[in-house]
Structure 1
Amino acid sequence: MSDKLDMVKIEKFDKLKLRKTETQKKNPLPSKETIEQEKQAGAMG
């Protein structure tokens, strides 16, 4: 019975109340060039 109530809430949900947010990369991966530079530096040391 509560499942039906949940579905009604979902169907009546107002998407306009949601705020628009910008996606931000928190941990960008290093470029191929950076990886190669670090490999070369590690091999010498």
Structure 2
Amino acid sequence: MCDKPDLSEAEKFDKKKLKKTNTEEKNTLPSKETIEQEKECVKSS
């Protein structure tokens, strides 16, 4: 058995055939104000 993977196909791969994609941030982190409001709500419960 061989410990190394077969990379022959990876060596032939042409990156130029890949399509360019644009990524968009969908899950933004809450603002500091929002976090403080949540903390206040938890404390008062």
Q: Normalised by the shorter chain, which TM-score bucket?
A: 0.5 to 0.7
Tell me, which stretches of 5 or more residues in structure 1 are unaligned? none
Aligned residues between the structures: 41
Instruction: Answer 1 or 2: which has greater helix percent.
Output: 1
Task: Please tell me the residue identity of whatever aligns with 1:8.
Answer: S
Unpaired runs of 5+ in structure 2?
none
User: Which residue does the alignment assign to 2:19?
Assistant: 19
Identity across the alignment (%): 59
Over aligned residue pairs, what C-alpha RMSD do you find? Answer: 2.2
